[in-house]
Chain A
Amino acid sequence: MSVSIEVNGTRHDIDGDPSMPLLYALRDQIGLRGAKFGCGLGQCGACTVIVDGRAVFSCLTPISALEGRAVTTTEGLLEDGKPGKVHQAFIDEQAAQCGYCIAGMVMRVQHLLERNADPTDEEILTGMQANLCRCGTHAAIIRAVQRAART
């Protein structure tokens, strides 16, 4: 089937198996590297993107569910090719080790701040818990969320 999806403001016609998760369309067909394959099970969040204002696991979301939807990935948060607000907060806090989870983290933070511009520490921890990090970068990520909320 063919599905028309808007990704980071550009419309793409995706051909393929309707059960194919969005992640494979983003990575293999559109050529965006930000969203990562981590588990394919919706357990780790490395593939997190925003679809029409909601944070979703792109590894689980079939393209058949996305006709006419608008998808935002970490690449979509660039502003004139430069790091956006959340990006910059992560950079300033050096909030990445291996970084494989980070593009998903960025989208989780973006989603959190879109809903709650001034989260408490408790709200940050709860809001981020869907995403796993193995390097133990959590503390730096928390600082990045606090910094992004301030700026």
Chain B
Amino acid sequence: MTIAPNLSRRSLLQGAGGLVVAFSLTGGVRPASAETAAVLKSVAEGAVDSYISIDPKGMVTVYSGKIDYGTGVRTGFAQMAAEELSVPLDRVTVIEGDTSLTPDQGPTYGSLSIEVGGQAIRKAAATAREALLDAAGERLGVERAGLTITDGMIRGDGGEISYGDLLNGENFSLEVNENVRLKDPAQFTIVGQPIIRDGLPGKITGAFEYMQDLKIDGMAHARVVRPPAIDATLEGVDESSISHLPDVQIVQKGNFLAVVAESEWTAVRAAREISVTWATTESLPDQAQLWTHVRETPIAKDDVTSDIGDVDSAAGTRQVKATYDFALHTHGSIGPSCSVADFSDGKLVSWSSSQATHRLRGQLSDMFSVPEEDVRCIYIEGAGCYGRNGHEDAAADAALISRELGRPIRVQWMRHDEHGWDPKGPPTLIDLTATIDDAGAVAAWSSEFFIPQGAGGRVALLGANLADLPTNQDTNPGGITNDSAIPYGFPNIRTVCHRLESTPLRPSWIRAPGRMQNTFANEAFLDEVAAELAVDPMEYRRGLIDPADKRGLAVLDRLKEFAGWEPRPSPRSGGDGDGARLTGRGMAYVKYELKRTYVGAVAEVSMDANSGAIKVDRFFVVHDCGQIINPAGVRAQIEGNVIQTTSRTLMEELTFDRNMVTSLDWASYPILRFPDVPEVNIELIDYPNEVPWGAGEPTAAVVSACISNAVFDAAGIRLRSVPFKPAKVRAALSEQRS
């Protein structure tokens, strides 16, 4: 990634109308000098020029509204475009998430980057190729059918012409043909290859430029000073408390407070040493009573996500009932949020690691009451965020301070800012009931999810709220009703999401939002039913999946073989005869959102019945995301999903008092460290002739249930409350004994 560090704000803002861009092979964009003739860059959805350009030397630039934060989708986009255009991969550069240069393809979330964003790029590339073939046929005076393309060179009888020469710097001026002929997967040479992810070597050697590394001329360093409570009023700042530090400026607007210095360390010290008086109000519920609070929160509406038959009149002889819950989580980015802003003369350039720069532009436009065309948001890869963490908030902070001081500002959140103030994965409470008939079959499955209202929209900007500037106040936890319905064919099913009016702390989406929590409850509860019926949980699921769903069945069949699964009911009998050490295996399955990527997984755990500690020893994952663009990228995503979600499942729980978050560092919010990392074994099922689906989230959905089910297999106890901390395990074992 290269970013021109010495750009003037004006030259950047010209991009909104007609920016001249020059490209480097290593990626990134460097606006050319203002004297160069302006070329209008389309960003309209559906126009080929919005996604693809080819320069006279045949270098291809792909413009993506979806962004890559290490997941490898940038490499995937390049592979898809290079394949359709038949050009070598090293001729393709990808520019991401720049509101002046890239189309608005929606936020980067929901495991949709390849599936939606990549497919749009692929169709644009194919449309471009077809147009180039038409033009070459005319130019060469030969039948179009006889043309071939090799490395961006079109050849026909008696002649050849390159893409670069054909276009000669011109735009395509074409609409994307949604029904364009795509390359036959049998001819693929780039898609399907385990290409090394773009940027990876530089991340290792230190050459890669992250958001946190960006410096621009005239920039000052800022740190925010947050209140000691969510609900607080700034009463006074004792400026003399930092008078011993050189050249520190204080920026205060309402309850927004920041310190600014030429030297970064001075800013850090100023934020640490400044004396501020706040009036605070207790606004959060008692965490010890969290689930009572959730259950008693008023319901704004019900979303019925499936309603088959009539669960109430289903005849049964017994019921299995259980309640599941899943703690609040923080995103836990290793690098706290950071942004640089240059705001003057009413115009703003904002650099951030936002996964939704187009949306951020709208939010900053609202916050500062300036037209959207006067705001340019540019994505730069930062530390992984796994959802909507503090990036947008840091962008708002930097923009506000820059506007107040009239100079470029870099805001770097500290660890306590990130852990304390990034929006959180909301608490999830789920009641499930299965009614079993006298033949030993489930007659009815019903579930109720107590989850906040809202979807994946604009999360209120923290700085705007503190400064009392306009920002949308809707609750936006992500698409958390997904996977509340189940992929199994019971005769009567009703799944209802009670959408709560509020939730403690500002919510947002964290990797597999809702899908993780809901699949945990559904897949662990299904395991409870299988145990009640004394049947093998894998065979049981196989019998419940729609027989026409061959891909789902294939995943389970491959999983059984891959994991060496021996059919038997859980819990296992006898144990391994090693005293307090118990071992078990558990499985779970998801068809993501009931319509795309399939994952089946088996966990093997060992646990210490004295301490209650669980160790996840191994995972086996079988994964079908359709056509695989980059198997190395898919494997990395699966491995990361398993390890990260093992951490979330075993260890992670946000803490708060009545004022604010109290888990403000890695000691109070521990995550998995090396000694506890499971071995991850992966089998990919590739369907080259199918569409590609996402791989960034689906595996995360099955991990918690796999572990819970494996613990049941090992010890006969059900863990229904994430995280599975040792104290909960000991309590469950103690209850089992009594």
Contact of B674 among A34, A73, A91, A125 (CB under 8 A): A125
- A32 to B207: give the CA distance in the assembly, Å: 9
Give the residue name and chain of the B residue nearest to A74 (CB): B206
Residues of A within 8 A of B199 (CB): 99
Q: Residues 69-85 of chain A: 1 if any B CB is under 8 Å from the residue's CB, otherwise 0?
A: 00001110110000100
Tell whether A28 pairs with B205 under 8 Å between CB atoms, given A94-B200, A138-B674. no
Tell whether A33 pairs with B203 under 8 Å between CB atoms, given A94-B636, A132-B673, A135-B70. no
Contact of A98 among B384, B412, B674, B677 (CB under 8 A): B384
Tell whether A44 pairs with B666 under 8 Å between CB atoms, given A34-B206, A125-B675. yes
What is the total of A-B residue contacts with beta carbons within 8 Å?
178
Residues of A within 8 A of B666 (CB): 39, 41, 43-44, 132
Residues of A within 8 A of B69 (CB): 98
Asked if B643 contacts A136 (CB within 8 A), the reply is: yes
Whole-angstrom distance from the CB of B451 to the nearest CB of chain A?
24
Which of A17, A20, A99, A128: most chain B Cβ within 10 A? A99
Whole-angstrom distance from the CB of A70 to the nearest CB of chain B?
17
Tell whether A33 pairs with B70 under 8 Å between CB atoms, given A28-B263, A87-B205. no
Whole-angstrom distance from the CB of A149 to the nearest CB of chain B?
15
Interface residues of B in 298-344 (CB under 8 A from A): 332-336
Q: Which of B87-95, B208-216, B588-596, B601-609 makes up part of the contact surface?
A: B208-216
Asked if B671 contacts A75 (CB within 8 A), the reply is: no
B: number of interface residues (CB 8 Å): 57
Q: Which residues on B are within 8 Å of A, measured CB to CB?
A: 69-71, 196-197, 199-201, 203-210, 212-213, 263-266, 268-269, 332-336, 381-384, 386, 412, 414-415, 632, 636, 639-644, 647, 665-667, 671-675, 677, 679-680
Asked if B200 contacts A91 (CB within 8 A), the reply is: yes
Interface residues of A in 76-116 (CB under 8 A from B): 77-78, 83, 87, 90-91, 94-103, 106
Q: Residues 124-135 of chain A: 1 if any B CB is under 8 Å from the residue's CB, otherwise 0?
A: 111011011111
Residues of B within 8 A of A24 (CB): 263-265, 268
Asked if A102 contacts B204 (CB within 8 A), the reply is: yes
- A47 to B69: give the CA distance in the assembly, Å: 20
Tell whether A135 pairs with B384 under 8 Å between CB atoms, given A20-B265, A126-B675. yes
Contact of A96 among B204, B213, B335, B677 (CB under 8 A): B204
13 contacts between A and B (CB under 8 A): A21-B265, A33-B207, A36-B335, A37-B412, A94-B197, A94-B632, A98-B335, A98-B381, A100-B383, A103-B205, A103-B206, A132-B671, A135-B70
Give the residue name and chain of the A residue nearest to B353 (CB): A98
Whole-angstrom distance from the CB of B262 to the nearest CB of chain A?
10
Contact of B334 among A32, A35, A38 (CB under 8 A): A38
Whole-angstrom distance from the CB of B408 to the nearest CB of chain A?
15
Give the residue name and chain of the A residue nearest to B272 (CB): A40
Tell whether A40 pairs with B414 under 8 Å between CB atoms, given A128-B674, A132-B334, A135-B70. yes
Residues of B within 8 A of A33 (CB): 206-210, 213
Which of A39, A77, A100, A137: most chain B Cβ within 10 A? A100
Asked if B632 contacts A100 (CB within 8 A), the reply is: no
Is A60 at the interface (CB under 8 A from chain B)? no
Residues of A within 8 A of B212 (CB): 36-37, 100
Asked if A28 contacts B641 (CB within 8 A), the reply is: no
Tell whether A136 pairs with B386 under 8 Å between CB atoms, given A38-B335, A90-B204, A94-B197. no
Give the residue name and chain of the B residue nearest to A141 (CB): B674
Chain A interface, DSSP helix/strand/loop, else mixed? loop
Residues of B within 8 A of A28 (CB): 263-265
Is A139 at the interface (CB under 8 A from chain B)? yes
- A124 to B677: give the CA distance in the assembly, Å: 12
Is A56 at the interface (CB under 8 A from chain B)? no
- A33 to B642: give the CA distance in the assembly, Å: 30
Is A55 at the interface (CB under 8 A from chain B)? no
Asked if B636 contacts A17 (CB within 8 A), the reply is: no
Is A53 at the interface (CB under 8 A from chain B)? no
Residues of A within 8 A of B201 (CB): 83, 87, 91
Give the residue name and chain of the A residue nearest to B647 (CB): A136
Tell whether A38 pairs with B644 under 8 Å between CB atoms, given A83-B201, A100-B335. no
- A75 to B265: give the CA distance in the assembly, Å: 22
Contact of A137 among B265, B640, B667, B675 (CB under 8 A): B640
Give the residue name and chain of the A residue nearest to B335 (CB): A100
Contact of B269 among A17, A37, A125 (CB under 8 A): A17
Contact of A37 among B208, B335, B639, B671 (CB under 8 A): B335
Is A68 at the interface (CB under 8 A from chain B)? no
Give the residue name and chain of the B residue nearest to A134 (CB): B334
Task: Return the 6 tightest CB-CB contacts between A and B, nearest first.
Answer: A34-B206, A99-B203, A136-B643, A98-B384, A98-B70, A136-B640
- A87 to B196: give the CA distance in the assembly, Å: 14
Contact of B204 among A20, A103, A124 (CB under 8 A): A103
Asked if B677 contacts A138 (CB within 8 A), the reply is: yes
Asked if B204 contacts A91 (CB within 8 A), the reply is: yes
Asked if A129 contacts B335 (CB within 8 A), the reply is: no
Contact of B673 among A16, A75, A129, A139 (CB under 8 A): A129
Residues of A within 8 A of B673 (CB): 129, 132
Residues of A within 8 A of B680 (CB): 139
